[in-house]
């Protein structure tokens, strides 16, 4: 494992945190994300919001999402949408994905298969987003 050889490897820490979230260990995911030197980046901040929401710390998660949504620069729409899903705000998640159609980034490549977005898959607006991105099923 890369973390055994290089404990501060940021990408490995991030993927480990995402895996821990999927395994139902949000507190471990939080601790792992906080080890990353990339913690201040918008993408990792959104991932932190997801972990906080899953850990039951919705107010903290909403504060981060609010900051990211108001940010005038790069917005990680995919991760913001995933944070909204974790907060059970599916309408806001769909709005974020619709915004992503006009402001795409490379994190959207996994939109069709990412488990974070599973609660949206049956929604017609989600299918419309996939079609707009030419990722229709």
Q: What share of the chain is helix, strand, coil (3-state, %, to 5)?
A: 70, 0, 30
Fold held by 2-132: 1.25.40
Per-residue pLDDT of the chain (137 residues; tens, 9 = 90+): 654 555 555 677 888 889 999 999 999 999 988 888 777 888 889 999 999 999 999 999 999 999 998 877 888 899 999 999 999 999 999 999 998 888 777 777 788 888 999 999 999 999 999 888 887 66
Domain ranges of the chain: 2-132
DSSP alpha helix (H) spans, 38-116: 42-54, 58-70, 77-86, 90-102
pTM of the full structure: 0.88
Task: Supply the DSSP symbol for 123.
Answer: S
The H or E element spanning position 30 is helix 26-33
Tell me the chain's radius of gyration from C-alpha atoms: 15
């Amino acid at each position: 494992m890369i973390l055994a050889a290089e404990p501060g490897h940021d990408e490995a820490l991030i993927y480990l945190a995402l895996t821990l979230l999927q395994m139902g260990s949000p507190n471990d995911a939080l601790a792992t994300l906080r080890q990353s030197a990339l913690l201040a980046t918008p993408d990792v901040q959104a991932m932190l919001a997801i972990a906080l929401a899953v850990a039951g710390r919705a107010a903290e998660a909403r504060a981060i999402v609010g900051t990211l949504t108001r940010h005038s620069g790069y917005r990680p729409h995919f991760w913001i949408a995933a944070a909204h899903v974790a907060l059970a705000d599916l309408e806001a998640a769909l709005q974020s994905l619709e915004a992503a159609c006009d402001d795409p980034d490379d994190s959207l490549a996994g939109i069709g298969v990412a488990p974070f977005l599973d609660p949206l898959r049956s929604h017609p607006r989600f299918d419309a987003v996939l079609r707009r991105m030419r990722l229709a099923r």
